[in-house]
Structure 1
Amino acid sequence: MLAAFAAAALPLTATAHPAQAADPAQPADSAQASVPTRATAPATDAPPVIDAPPVFGSDWHDPLTAAPPVPKPGTKSCEVTVAQAQFRDFTPYRGTYTPPAACGTDWSKVVLRLDGKVKGRQYDRLGSLHVGGVEIYRTSTPQPSPDGIEWSVEKDVTRYTDTLRRAQDVEMLIGNVVDETYTGVLDVKVTLTFHKAPASHKSPETQGTSRTSVPDKVLTLTPDHTLTTPRNSERILAEVYATGSGGGCEEYWYLSVPAPAPYSCQTPDGPYREVRITVDGRLAGIATPFPTVWTGGWSNPFLWYVVPGPRAFDIKPIEYDLTPFAGLLNDGRPHRVEVSVVGVPEGQTGWSAPVNVLVWQDAGKQRVGGKLTVHKEGAPTGSSTYTPGTEHRVDTRAGHSLTVAGYLDTSHGRVTTTVARTLAHTSAHRWTDGESTDALDGVWRDDETVVVNGHATRAHRTYTMDGETTIGADARLRTVMTLADRAAVSDSRGRWSRLDDTYTGDAAYTTGVPRDQRQGVATTTERYRLTGSGGCYDRTVTAVQGVLTGDSSAC
């Protein structure tokens, strides 16, 4: 394979038309799905000048992204192998995990690393890793070259310290199909590296009053979706690994249209999706899912072979601050907690939404009482308007808002928490008969403000997608795409950060011919910028016809 480049982070599944992934073995007009990766190697200040080939060959650069590696402390570390398997079917790997005796149970950082390799033909495949029933990692795989690729992913999993302090059962699955056509066996190893806390480090066990420290408990829901929290909980955070995947329209939900629009994917309410969480049937949180594109997405795997779209290899959970409901949840009884996705037709599958619940406890009190004082839901708005013509068009506008507040009487006084979240979505989807042209320009906003005893933290998240796929008279399929993951976070103490992770790509190939005759070309670039009161990171990577032609840092 081409010179390996450490990749860090990986995503998920299979798809159809523009958002769907192209079949790695068949012509692109019989499309299906795939996914991305994220890089851990540092940028080089002066990369060598490389002449890209005229078209893709049978080998290309290992997948990478411009995202930063996980920062690691310089303390003693211990490594434990959590899972090692070759995934050929849908049989999960099962094993056991034991914490490393040489590094104790007080860690300043725990880093998960996945190393994988695959060659031949294969779709992207969805994967997840559970330790003690807690999902600590969700991912997918890149599409391989005929000669083979390797990739690596890193994730900070320190927040799962409570789970990792004890011996646990392990289950990992990357569902795969291997036969005479799809030959790629996914060879994967996952390790955890534990970095010991310095002697002056404050143990996470005594950090329960901090909103930024490691949680004291990591809980999962029972099979009947109930949760029982400790009676002295003073902060409760739910995380949901919500992904639209598994085939069908929900893999590319952002392109769905309402009837009677003549498009290959119809859903009654069009493309608006909203992930909701309820407590005992009452709405407790709302969120916008990220419009992830897997590595075979938009019928054009050449776009994603080397540089994937944002989040493709590191599927981030949606977070909901449930602290206003802690007064209710702290009564020692089980409460029903459920997640649903608005916009999915009733009875249709395609979304997975496992839930972890992170709990911070009051070390100075056995029981923490409180009350939910505000529950204000704005009326959901939304419309998808179909305009027929030579170029069909669906315009969508939708949104929702929710504000909840509550107080807790803790050992350090009354603490009032208010969570306000506002969602907004606009998109224009246009296509021609036969979908030989298919384009989307969409913007998703998710704004959240959390105020704790007068101290506010504000997060403004914006996701954008501007893409078009065309198939010309010469059977050349071309996709031009821009994807962006942006977030601005600030608090009343003067801390702030700003993320701009933007991918751009232009790729084409000939449809209806064997793989080795597709004459694929692609120029793909990712710029990952993270600035703020904590410093600056700015890296750009570019690949042309599978060759890494640029890797630079601006900070």
Structure 2
Amino acid sequence: MHFLAALTAFLLPAACLADPNISVNPGSIKLGARLAGHLHRPPSFAVVPHNLQKVSHPFEVDVPLKVPRTKACTVNVVQHEFVFSFGKPFVGNFTPPVEKECNGPWEMVVLEMTGSSRGRQYDRIAGLWIGGFLRTSTPEPTNAGILWKFQKDVTSYSSTLTVPQTVVMDLSNLVTAELNGTYTVTVDLAFYSADAHANLDDVPDLVVPISAGAESSAWFSLQSDSSVGARNVTLPRNLRRAVVEVYANGQINDEFWYVNAPNSYIQLLNQTGTGNGAYWRWRWSREDFVFGMLTRLSSVPTYPGPYREILVFIDNKLAGATVTFPVIFSGERASVMVPMLSIGALNIPSYYIDVTPFVGLLVDGKRHQIGLQ
């Protein structure tokens, strides 16, 4: 299982602190942390009817963003073609908008990602770090090509966007004689200026990333249910509320965890191996596509059962837990995901864990460990 997380915290006015020398603007703190991996399975290479052999526009069904009517200024943060990019993330620079009417505060900040590809290729997991706020996956391309676009509200990360900083985007792609598709990606940020009526009370003042690196793939990759990804942080002493935002999704052998069989059915399914559950892999044949039937290809033992739980620890104390949503990536059912993708395939969802009861432990001015499991 692979994770990405963020902690939002609200602060008391500095006047409420016992130490008058410590002063932090009231508002909130958001900590981000990432964990992900890469796909290592054959692409589906599904048979697609002739009338679909044209440029496809994959999309995810979602509620359109309602943006303010105020002026928006757009800043490009990524323009890159990912060819052979394992271990070679895009590294660039971000500069906040320079227009006077868009220099903040902002009522809304919208991320828009556009991608294109053509040929044969896996669906790839990707992450973007400017303080750490995007997890996505790519659709599988066709020989005729694909073009897709989606938006995400990233207003809660506004505090990370007020100063120039490094941008890192990891989309690990592999090009071979058979896998010849590359991914061309553009990411823009649209900043909508706030007017006198804008409510900015819920926008955090500070984002502290919880990640594995800086100018590299910053997500944690947890290989077992005992693995923990953690980072030490020091938080302001006028903290009054804290919420951890977590991104998590399975990859490699754990990508299809939601179809694993429980332990009690392993023998009935004639499963063998070290896995505590069973994972069923399917394929579409030409006849299957016509008649809408699935054919069993193989069954492979993998990690335990059809249940995944995210645990958040503060100084090795369990602070909260949540369960993950089963995101079905486009490569799992390439034949039927044309052009509509499953919920969360492009804009991978996050999960919020309120850890306000632990704020009293975090306001001593010392370093504390935030862990993900």
Give TM-score scaled by structure 1 length: 0.49
Secondary structure of 2:360 counterpart: helix
Shift of 1:172: 0.6
Shift of 1:117: 0.8
Count of residues in Structure 1 that have an aligned counterpart in Structure 2: 286
Q: Among residues 164, 168, 176, which one is paired with 1:167 in the alignment?
A: 164
Aligned equivalent of 1:14: 39
Secondary structure of 2:140 counterpart: coil
Aligned equivalent of 2:207: 218
CA deviations over 1:88-136 (Å, ceiling 9, x no partner): 12221111101012111210000000111111111111111001xx221
Aligned equivalent of 1:262: 270
**1:512-551 pair list within 5 angstroms:** none
Which structure: greater helix fraction? 2
CA deviations over 1:510-541 (Å, ceiling 9, x no partner): xxxxxxxxxxxxxxxxxxxxxxxxxxxxxxxx
What is the aligned-residue RMSD (CA, Å)?
A: 2.3
Runs of at least 4 residues of structure 1 off by over 6 A? none
Question: Which 5+ residue runs of structure 1 have no aligned equivalent?
Answer: 1-10, 17-21, 29-52, 208-212, 341-555
Matched, 1:306 2:339: yes
Q: Among residues 249, 258, 269, which one is paired with 1:243 in the alignment?
A: 249
Aligned equivalent of 2:321: 286
Aligned equivalent of 1:83: 78
Where relative contact order (Cα < 8 A, 6+ residues apart) is larger, the structure is 2
CA deviations over 1:419-473 (Å, ceiling 9, x no partner): xxxxxxxxxxxxxxxxxxxxxxxxxxxxxxxxxxxxxxxxxxxxxxxxxxxxxxx
| Cα gap change, 1:58 to 1:267, in 2 (>3 Å) | closer
Q: Among residues 93, 98, 102, which one is paired with 1:96 in the alignment?
A: 93
CA deviations over 1:19-74 (Å, ceiling 9, x no partner): xxx6244x79xxxxxxxxxxxxxxxxxxxxxxxx9655422531123312211111
Instruction: Read off the aligned partner of 1:106 and give its amino acid letter.
Output: P
| Cα gap change, 1:225 to 1:237, in 2 (>3 Å) | same
CA distance in 2, matches of 1:334, 1:253: 35
| Cα gap change, 1:66 to 1:270, in 2 (>3 Å) | closer
CA distance in 1, matches of 2:138, 2:354: 31
CA deviations over 1:379-419 (Å, ceiling 9, x no partner): xxxxxxxxxxxxxxxxxxxxxxxxxxxxxxxxxxxxxxxxx
| Cα gap change, 1:54 to 1:270, in 2 (>3 Å) | closer
Shift of 1:266: 3.0
**1:100-499 pair list within 5 angstroms:** 100-102=97-99, 103-131=102-130, 134-201=131-198, 204=200, 207=201, 213-221=202-210, 225-245=231-251, 247-248=252-253, 250-257=254-261, 258=263, 259-260=266-267, 261-263=269-271, 264-267=299-302, 269-297=304-332, 300-340=333-373
Question: Which 5+ residue runs of structure 2 have no aligned equivalent?
Answer: 1-35, 213-229, 272-298
Please tell me whether the aligned partners of residues 12 and 125 of structure 1 are also in contact (alpha carbons under 8 angstroms). no
Shift of 1:318: 1.5
Secondary structure of 2:158 counterpart: helix
Q: Among residues 59, 67, 87, which one is paired with 2:54 in the alignment?
A: 59
Secondary structure of 1:151 counterpart: strand
Please tell me whether the aligned partners of residues 12 and 141 of structure 1 are also in contact (alpha carbons under 8 angstroms). no
CA distance in 1, matches of 2:245, 2:57: 31
CA deviations over 1:273-314 (Å, ceiling 9, x no partner): 2111111121111111011111011xx311113111111110
Give TM-score scaled by structure 2 length: 0.72
Q: Among residues 1, 19, 23, which one is paired with 2:43 in the alignment?
A: 23
Please tell me whether the aligned partners of residues 231 and 369 of structure 2 are also in contact (alpha carbons under 8 angstroms). yes
Instruction: Read off the aligned partner of 1:289 and give its amino acid letter.
Output: T
CA distance in 1, matches of 2:167, 2:147: 24
